[in-house]
Amino acid sequence: MDFPQPLERGTLVSRYKRFFADVVMDDGREITAHCPNPGAMLGLNTPGLPAWLSKSDDPKRKLAHTLELVEADGGLVGINTLHPNRIAAEALAADAIPELTGYATHRREVRYGENSRVDFLLEHPDRPPCWLEIKNCHLRRAGTLAEFPDCVAARSLKHLRELSAMVRAGERAVMLFVIQRTDCDAFSACAELDPAYARGLDDAAAAGVEVLAYRCVITPRQVTLADRVSWTGANLATAA
């Protein structure tokens, strides 16, 4: 996924009210940018972190700039939760996800479950359909372990249950975590921050939902899916 133009660099001053971020650009401009991330952004909202912004020329936008990346722990981290679907779409089109090749069509936002829309429905005349949900992951608290979620994620838990229902109906279901970091080589649900989701992911996997986690290559010009990392079940004993 290419950014339309190279991102501009600055320093994060404050992220507030979930969707706003104040940034001082390297040239001295003070900018309020849109923050496209409803989560807690733990470790990624600290004042003083280097930040990269995109700019839109759309005159209808209230905020021209969007916070796209921050630098934490020596590497770039993508915080835009809208990008993983685009990243996944490009990877699917390029057959860059070996576990998800061989489908004739990739339809987006297909209705399923209880008033939900699946991110992708992969179809082929000779095989069962594959229901694919995508989640953005940018939390790393220790070592090289990526974790999701970074706050309570009730809606995401609902998606796990709906994927499990697809498996029970005889179809294929996959949960893909797009890790917008370059410093992780393993993934786990964060049982400490959301034990219900962690338990739900383990239950979904036991029901036959396939769990995939892929990290990204990130630069101020593009974000692309790289390679798969290992997934481990949650340590629910420590989250009780």
Helix 195-207 vs helix 154-168: crossing angle, to nearest 10 = 10
Range of the domain at 52: 8-78
For 198-237, b/e burial (b = at least 16 CB within 10 A) is: bbbbbebbebebbbbbbbbebebeebebeeebebeebeee
CA–CA dist 123, 160 (Å, integer):
20
pTM for the predicted model, two decimal places: 0.94
End of a domain among 44, 78, 112? 78
Domain match, 46 and 157 both: no
Show Cβ contacts of residue 30 under 8 Å, excluding neighbours closer than 6 positions.
Answer: 13, 22, 23, 24
Q: What is the pLDDT of residues 87-102, one digit of tens each?
A: 999 999 999 999 999 9
| Within a domain: 40 | yes
Query: What CATH number corresponds to the domain at position 63?
Result: 2.40.50.580
Domain match, 124 and 217 both: yes
Asked if the model's pLDDT at residue 240 lies above 60, the reply is no
CA 119 centroid distance within chain:
12
What per-residue confidence (pLDDT) applies to 235? 61
| Within a domain: 157 | yes
Q: What is the pLDDT of residues 18-71, one digit of tens each?
A: 999 999 999 999 999 999 999 999 999 999 999 999 999 999 999 999 999 999
First to last CA, the chain: 39
What per-residue confidence (pLDDT) applies to 122? 98
Q: What is the pLDDT of residues 180-195, one digit of tens each?
A: 999 999 999 999 999 9
| Within a domain: 1 | no
- Pairing, β 145-148 against β 186-189: parallel
- Number of separate helices (H) and strands (E) present in the chain: 3, 16
| Within a domain: 233 | yes
CA–CA dist 236, 191 (Å, integer):
6
In this structure, which amino acid lies at residue 58?
A: D
Domain match, 73 and 163 both: no
Domain match, 143 and 123 both: yes
For 64-85, b/e burial (b = at least 16 CB within 10 A) is: bbbbbbbbbeeebbbbbbebbb
CA–CA dist 92, 156 (Å, integer):
22
- pLDDT confidence band for 236 (50 / 70 / 90): low
CA–CA dist 25, 31 (Å, integer):
7
Mean pLDDT of the residues in the chain: 94
What per-residue confidence (pLDDT) applies to 115? 83
End of a domain among 49, 78, 107? 78
The count of C-alpha atoms lying within 13 angstroms of the C-alpha of 137, restricted to the half-sphere facing its C-beta, is: 33
CA dihedral 206, 212, 213, 218 (to 10 degrees): -160
